[in-house]
Structure 1
Amino acid sequence: MIQHHPDNNMLLEYASGSLNWAHSLVVSAHLQLCPKCAAQIKLLNRIGGALLETVEPVPASKQDDETGQAFARLMDRIDTVSDQPEETPAERVVATVEKPFVSRDPVFSSLPPVVTKLMHGNPVLKWRRLSKGLREARLKTGQSSHEVAFHRIAPGNVVAEHDHRGKEITMVLYGSFSDADGIYSRGDFLVREPGEVHCPTATQDQECLCFSVVEAPVALTGFLGKLVNPFLSIKPQ
Structure 2
Amino acid sequence: MIRHHPDNNMLLEYSSGSLPWAMSLAVSAHLQLCPQCRQQRESLNDIGGALLSESAPQTIDTDAFSKLMGRIDAAEQQTREEERLAGEMGEPTARPQRPVRHTDPILSDLPKVIRKLISRREPLKWKRVSNALRTSRLTTGQDRYEVAFQRICRGGQVAEHDHRGREVTVVLVGSFSDADGVYRRGDFLVREPGDVHRPIATQDQECLCLSVVEAPVKVTGLLGWLVNPFLSFRPA
TM-score range, shorter chain: 0.7 to 0.9
- Partners of 1:152 and 1:110 lie apart in 2 by 15
Deviation at 1:21, TM superposition (A): 0.5
Deviation at 1:229, TM superposition (A): 1.0
Gaps of 5+ in 1: 59-80
- Partners of 2:195 and 2:29 lie apart in 1 by 24
The alignment covers a number of residue pairs equal to 210
User: What is the SS of the residue equivalent to 2:94?
Assistant: helix
Deviations 1:189-217 (A, max 9, x none): 11110000000000011110001100000
Gaps of 5+ in 2: 59-80
- Partners of 1:47 and 1:38 lie apart in 2 by 14
Deviation at 1:5, TM superposition (A): 0.7
- How large is the RMSD of aligned CA atoms in angstroms? 2.2
Deviation at 1:47, TM superposition (A): 1.5
Q: What is the TM-score normalised by the length of structure 1?
A: 0.83
Indicate the residue corresponding to 1:61 in structure 2: none
- Partners of 2:174 and 2:180 lie apart in 1 by 17
Deviation at 1:224, TM superposition (A): 1.0
User: What is the SS of the residue equivalent to 1:223?
Assistant: coil
Deviation at 1:231, TM superposition (A): 2.1
- Partners of 2:48 and 2:25 lie apart in 1 by 21
What aligned pairs does 1:1-237 form with structure 2 within 5 A after superposition?
A: 1-57=1-57, 94=94, 96-97=96-97, 99-237=98-236
Deviations 1:45-84 (A, max 9, x none): 12212211111359xxxxxxxxxxxxxxxxxxxxxx9xx9
User: What is the SS of the residue equivalent to 2:212?
Assistant: strand
- 8 Å CA contact 2:102, 2:123 repeated in 1: no
Q: What is the TM-score normalised by the length of structure 2?
A: 0.83
User: What is the SS of the residue equivalent to 1:111?
Assistant: coil
Letter in 2 for 1:23: M
User: What is the SS of the residue equivalent to 1:23?
Assistant: helix
- Partners of 2:26 and 2:99 lie apart in 1 by 20
In our comparison, the structure showing a higher alpha carbon Rg is 1
Indicate the residue corresponding to 1:78 in structure 2: none
Indicate the residue corresponding to 2:67 in structure 1: none
- 8 Å CA contact 1:175, 1:207 repeated in 2: yes
User: What is the SS of the residue equivalent to 2:129?
Assistant: strand
Q: What is the aligned-residue identity percentage?
A: 63
- Partners of 1:163 and 1:115 lie apart in 2 by 27
